[in-house]
Structure 1
Amino acid sequence: MYTADTMSSSALFDPLNTSGTGIDESNNKDVERSGLASIEESAGWHRKVKSKLASWDPENEEQWENGHGGHIATRNLLMSIPNISVGFGVWVIWTIVSKSILEVHTADPTLYAFEDWGSPQGDEYKRLVSLLPSVAGLSGATLRVCNTFMTHIVGGRIPNGQNSILLMVPTIMIAWALNSTDTSFSVLLVAAWFTGVGGGAFSSSNNNISTLFPKSQQGYALGFNAGIGNFGVSLTQLFVPLCIGTSFGNQPLAPGLEVWPNHAGWVWWPVALLAAIGTYMWMSDLPEHGNHKGNNELWNTIYFYCLHAQGLLGGAVGVLFLIATRNSAFFYTSEAVQIAHKFLAVLLTCVAEHLILWYVSPPIVREGVRKQGEMFRDKHTWIMTFIYIMSFSCFIGYAATFPKLIEFAYGKAREWGCTDRQGVFTVGGAEDDCLDHGGTWTKEVIDNPDAPNPFSYAWIGAGVGSLIRPVGGMAADAWGGANCTMVLTLWLAAASMWLGSLLKRTITLDHPEDTFALFVFLSLNVFVSAGGINGTSFRTIGVLYDTKLAGPVLGWSSAMGSYGAYIFPELFDIAIESNSPEKTFYGLACYYLICAGLNWWYYVRPQAERRGV
């Protein structure tokens, strides 16, 4: 790492740190001419002219404790969190917006008819609208791949700020496009494609934060960045439905319908603007990052957009595949084929993105990717990615599915009543009176009058899971990431098995709401354990690798975990359509146990290769 005592000016513009030298900070004039800021100059909250540090070594206790290092790292963490919150909040917005579009169209089929796509009806319309959250999920996961390499190429400050600026585009598009019920579905697809920027931002942010903190505080720093940042999911699930359901002086789109989908677009863009401003005022770049054309910020920004364009292009491959196959009869022949369809979309997208990065990128970007590509030769990269997929995919995937499961399991009830000669069913009454009037006394499935409102509870699970991530990280700092991961993974598997069993019984009950309290309790157990593993696995990665590779491995594993976050809701959708959600829970529990086995073998058992990480 760079230290104030050992650096020479030859390393100022060496983005890959090939010289192994640094800056002599004792020569203040050289530091001033270089455009870099000393540790002392970068401390505090004043507006800095110079945003790039002249030296940085978080493992240097004197610099960390007495030289303002800890203050600078914490300030960067506090500026990173709002950007991640915006990213997550915008990324998952389509799970709510798509439902509101369906609600409006169901009330009046002439509204949001999407004539440019042939005015689909029934299941075909539902499949079309369901593309929106799928496109956002797939795009976000793919953009995480390019964000994996972003920090070392352009620094941490520009990705944080520019990602928030970019996210203003899809939010304004949502507000503008959905303001008209004759809007084009193609415009909504482009907006969903761009919201993937929010999902991708997570990789570059965590990569950057991991380089700012010592190994002893990796769990704390990454847990807070990911956990509090991930709270954006809960904020979206809480505030977006409120805004969609508030008129703000507008007339109803259909008689008796109090839903305005376009209001969702106004929730996040002011926050995104403030987050971007804060980033450019108070975040710092490390000396070894983004040294292009003499540390030129314009060139770093150009490389940022170059990488993002490649990520969006890779994501477009999967998006086009989903569009082309959305009504293919072949991909709906069985549950297994439907699942294979989702995995095939991920495979095509991931392969396309990596080919673009390796063969289409500008030379300086390609060289940065190649240097960090050595992580793929380490088996622990693949093991920790497999484990991280478990935690993040379960957390964010179940957060997206949670309201849908509530509606599926508790939205219907079974009541006795009378079916008259015209086939009209009336709940209740007396059996004898029904028969005397020529009716048939039957038990029918009806809308449950006591059903819980899914969106009244949807935000709770994601919120609890987000807040527990820093707790998991700090516990990992104290007792070891792998040890904590072991306990939490077994806890997650047990809760998932119990949830599957409960849902299998619940959907057969006349009054399913009787099991709702237990359902919420078990779901919170899933969120707590998955969120905790998220924090503990971050700490393990931070300790397993040196600073040069820890960030890229964090970015790569989070990218693959994000693909899982796209797959998990799709798995639940398929299971719900077949009326057997327990299958997904049982299958995932088996996956969790495999992760527990890998974690025990490589990191926990007495003879483990990297015990105690």
Structure 2
Amino acid sequence: MTAPSSTPPRTRGRWITHWEPEDTAFWNATGRRVANRNLWASIFAEHIGFSVWSLWSVLTLFMTPETGFDYTAAQKFLLVSVVSLVGALLRVPYTLAVPRFGGRNWTLISAAALLVPTGTAVVLIQRPDTPFWLFVLLAATAGLGGGNFSSSMANINSFFPERSKGWALGLNAGGGNIGVATVQLAGLGAIAAFGAAQGHLLAAFYIPLLILSVALAWTRMDNLAGARADVGAQIAAAKDRNFWIMSFLYIGTFGSFIGFSFAFGLLLQNQFDRTPLEAAAVTFIGPLLGSLIRPVGGRMADRFGGARVTLWNFAAMAAGTAIIVAASLQESLALFTAGFIALFLLTGIGNGSTYKMIPAVYAAEAETQIAAGVPAEQAYARNKRVSGAVLGLVGAAGALGGVGINLVFRQSFLSFGNVIPGYVAFLVFYLVCLVVVYRVYLRRPAGGDAAAREAPAEQGAVGEAASR
């Protein structure tokens, strides 16, 4: 029998077996309180996970000849590339882990697992004679923190009704992204207070925070017995053309955000000979602003259409990259820093607008299917399932862009001795993204079925479709 809608959630241990967030009476009586309790504990755990994922973007600043490390720029970029790669690859299995093990249980496991790379970093960063391959392995284990984003988002998505998911997921995502800036700000504090030779203290700072996140998950979070992994929707998404196109675009926005967040401090050190303190004093600003402005990109997409905002955003990103190239050629630190801060702001706007495009694309796709004779209910239900899967998978694909950013920087140093060719490559990539957005989602078909297939989705009406 179905329990009355006002009945409190039934639990076995920490498993909730009755959960109806779409039922207004249930939600107002007890659902909202339980969901918010889980949300805030999840935000904290995800924030710390993101911080540990970003830890090596700061620890590499401490690894200088003055502290006993004789690593090249290429070696340092390899370290942060490995961290990015592992975090990106784990996003899909971490998403599937939530319905398998429970959101609370997986938060406990994933947060506790981060004690291993963090505690080991405290020891090894004090030993410059440690083999480089061991540091690569250690950096890879820190990449576990990158997977926490997807499991946290999947868990919170199950707790909230459709009418509240945007706000809840926005808070959850924002709380995680700001972890990049937080760890870099903490690194600045560690360098200023204790000196560049005490990098291990930064890693040590996160050990009690990880323990606290485990304690909060243990006492404040729940598992939902009804959560299910929609593997079929993920398979359908992977076969859909729009998924690959949107993944490509998200690599350009979120991939740039996370890649530049990891690389910015190293670029300041290697291009302009900044000390660890000087680099850390600037590094956190870009990721912080990029995280905070992300909702603005979504709001702009609501008003003007996601494809239009994304198109102009890529044009601006190309222009910002051109400024960075000019600053590098002129060796102008002020212009370089201003260009990068602008680029971080643009990645934040692009993250919001690109993500907002996805439901709009699939809403328009459903309308196309309805026009072709598919029943409306069937078309909307199918595209809602697929778009939900795409939202998760695109996040994983976008994180791979961070790997590409740092590998390009590494190769640029190895092949040319400087990073300018890498910037030129990114400029070209952003222009390609611009062309893709225009041709696929904005260019109106000239006529006939072939042209219609070339422009299947938004046709300049993203904002209207997304607002339905």
TM-score for both structures, normalised by structure 2: 0.79
Equivalent in 266, 281, 292 of residue 204 of structure 2? 266
Contact 2:150 2:392 in 1 (8 A): yes
Unmatched tracts of structure 1, length 5 or more: 1-7, 9-22, 37-48, 107-111, 113-120, 248-256, 291-364, 412-447
Q: Which residue of 2 aligns with 1:610?
A: 457
For 1:292-331, list aligned pairs within 5 A: none
The alpha-carbon deviation at position 70 of structure 1 amounts to 4.9
- Structure 2 counterpart of 1:83, one-letter code: A
Alpha-carbon distance between aligned partners in 1 of 2:87 and 2:277, rounded to the nearest angstrom: 31
Q: Which residue of 2 aligns with 1:176?
A: 123
Q: Which residue of 1 aligns with 2:56?
A: 94
The alpha-carbon deviation at position 532 of structure 1 amounts to 1.7
Q: Which residue of 2 aligns with 1:537?
A: 354
- Structure 2 counterpart of 1:90, one-letter code: V
Q: Which residue of 2 aligns with 1:319?
A: none
Contact 1:174 1:191 in 2 (8 A): yes
Alpha-carbon distance between aligned partners in 1 of 2:34 and 2:387, rounded to the nearest angstrom: 20
The alpha-carbon deviation at position 491 of structure 1 amounts to 2.2
The alpha-carbon deviation at position 410 of structure 1 amounts to 3.1
Identity, % of aligned positions: 28
- Structure 2 counterpart of 1:276, one-letter code: V
For 1:25-424, list aligned pairs within 5 A: 25=4, 32=10, 35=11, 50-52=14-16, 54-58=18-22, 66-67=28-29, 69-104=31-66, 106=68, 131-180=78-127, 183=130, 187-213=134-160, 219-244=166-191, 246-247=193-194, 259-289=197-227, 369=231, 372-411=234-273
Unmatched tracts of structure 2, length 5 or more: 363-381, 446-454
* Deviations 1:311-356, CA, capped at 9 Å, x for gaps: xxxxxxxxxxxxxxxxxxxxxxxxxxxxxxxxxxxxxxxxxxxxxx
- Structure 2 counterpart of 1:599, one-letter code: V
Alpha-carbon distance between aligned partners in 2 of 1:231 and 1:77, rounded to the nearest angstrom: 16
The alpha-carbon deviation at position 453 of structure 1 amounts to 1.8
Q: Which residue of 2 aligns with 1:565?
A: 402
Equivalent in 257, 260, 279 of residue 454 of structure 1? 279
The alpha-carbon deviation at position 214 of structure 1 amounts to 5.3
The alpha-carbon deviation at position 206 of structure 1 amounts to 2.4
The alpha-carbon deviation at position 279 of structure 1 amounts to 2.5
- Structure 2 counterpart of 1:521, one-letter code: A
Q: Which residue of 2 aligns with 1:523?
A: 340
Give the SS at the match of 1:288.
coil
The alpha-carbon deviation at position 196 of structure 1 amounts to 1.1
Contact 2:77 2:409 in 1 (8 A): no
Contact 2:60 2:76 in 1 (8 A): yes
Contact 2:158 2:227 in 1 (8 A): no
For 1:574-589, list aligned pairs within 5 A: 574-576=411-413, 578=416, 581-589=419-427
Aligned length: 430
Of stretches 263-272 and 194-203 in structure 1, the one that deviates more from structure 2 is: 263-272
Give the SS at the match of 2:209.
helix
**Residues 501 and 73 (structure 1), Cα distance of their counterparts in 2 relative to 1, 3 Å cut:** farther
The alpha-carbon deviation at position 142 of structure 1 amounts to 1.8
**Residues 552 and 282 (structure 1), Cα distance of their counterparts in 2 relative to 1, 3 Å cut:** farther
**Residues 73 and 190 (structure 1), Cα distance of their counterparts in 2 relative to 1, 3 Å cut:** same
Alpha-carbon distance between aligned partners in 2 of 1:468 and 1:143, rounded to the nearest angstrom: 26
Q: Which residue of 2 aligns with 1:466?
A: 291
**Residues 273 and 548 (structure 1), Cα distance of their counterparts in 2 relative to 1, 3 Å cut:** farther
TM-score for both structures, normalised by structure 1: 0.62
Contact 1:465 1:532 in 2 (8 A): yes
* Deviations 1:393-436, CA, capped at 9 Å, x for gaps: 1111112222233334433xxxxxxxxxxxxxxxxxxxxxxxxx
- CA RMSD in angstroms comes to 3.5
Give the SS at the match of 1:554.
helix
**Residues 81 and 604 (structure 1), Cα distance of their counterparts in 2 relative to 1, 3 Å cut:** farther
The alpha-carbon deviation at position 195 of structure 1 amounts to 0.7
Contact 1:161 1:280 in 2 (8 A): yes
Alpha-carbon distance between aligned partners in 2 of 1:258 and 1:530, rounded to the nearest angstrom: 30
Contact 1:219 1:474 in 2 (8 A): no
The alpha-carbon deviation at position 69 of structure 1 amounts to 4.7
Asked which structure has the greater CA Rg, the reply is: 1
Equivalent in 594, 597, 601 of residue 432 of structure 2? 594
